[in-house]
Amino acid sequence: MRQTTQAAIALTVVLSCSAYAKESIVPDKTVTYKTLGDTKLKLHVFNPQGHKLTDKRPAIVFFFGGGWMGGTPRQFYQQAKGFAALGFVAMSADYRVIRKHKTTPFECVKDGKSAVRWIRQHAAELGIDPGRVVAAGGSAGGHVAACTGVIQGHEEDGENGDISTLPNAMILYNPVIDTTEKGYGISKVGRERKTEISPCHQVRGGVPPTLIFHGTADKTVPYENVVRFTKLMKEAGNSCSLVPFKDKNHGFFNGSFFRPKNGDADFNITMEKSISFLKELGFLDAE
């Protein structure tokens, strides 16, 4: 209640460019959520102040962007730190990428689902509520997050299928949402499989409540894609809200920690809108 309001007010101050030196945001710990041969995929974990394992906090996991080619969990450190300040156990996930692991977007989706499953499976160790898990991400990472909520199948063999990979909500930042010729990534998924992990083409009922941020001048991922996705989601009976950022290009949401030239104005707006969204869902106390 009042504590959440105070934390929200403090958030834009605490996470402003002047408040954090470039090297000063570091996770509280890292944990391995998936091992494939010599590859260990980790979650970079940010805990709320004074966190106890009995607290059953809401959780949020972020997936970085980079066209499935590369990227770093550091991209979402600023967001993760902000959500931890609000009472979340916040995580930024590593996942396999093309340059480093010689994989495809299909493996990225599998890793995203593995991360959600691992978080839920280890709820007691993390001190989180397995019924309040948010998947979030930007660009290709937004695609990974969206696929955890939309795409059926594409799960890693050998995992516990009794534990759901479906998040309870999604927050997507200029996400790749259409992998056909009308969107982004057809050269990486292949023409013969272009709709298989394309959220626009796989919308169904039962997709978690979704919040999308997207620049209307995005030259990488067409704004029209998220407009169409939002319409399809609503037609399927799902809750989906689109927040347009007028004349903004791709990556506008990155804060000053990851993109110093961006400043924090748009970052702060996305945080404020996310807080309102999560309050409506009961993930944060209302005022």
Domain ranges, residue 170: 2-280
- Least confident range of 30-39, 160-169, 194-203, 277-286: 277-286
- Could you tell me the CATH number of the domain that includes residue 60? 3.40.50.1820
* 255 in a structural domain: yes
Looking at every residue in the chain, the average pLDDT score rounds to 93
* 61 in a structural domain: yes
* 272 in a structural domain: yes
pLDDT at residue 261 in the model = 86
The whole-number average pLDDT for the span 207-230 is 98
The whole-number average pLDDT for the span 44-56 is 96
* 285 in a structural domain: no
Label residue 18 by pLDDT band (50, 70, 90).
very low
pTM value > 0.85: yes
pLDDT at residue 287 in the model = 57
* Cα 56 to Cα 233: distance, rounded to the nearest angstrom: 30
* 138 in a structural domain: yes
Confidence check: pLDDT of 45 > 80: yes
Tokens at 15, concatenated: 């996470």
With a pLDDT cut of 90, the percent of the chain lying above it is 89
Identify the sign of the CA torsion 240, 63, 266, 283: positive
What does 7-24 look like in DSSP terms, one character per residue? HHHHHHHHTSTTT--TT-
pLDDT at residue 2 in the model = 47
pLDDT at residue 15 in the model = 52
* 287 in a structural domain: no
Domain count, the chain: 1
The whole-number average pLDDT for the span 189-197 is 98
Confidence check: pLDDT of 155 > 90: yes
CB within 8 A of 198, min separation 6: which ones? 177, 178, 179, 180, 183, 189
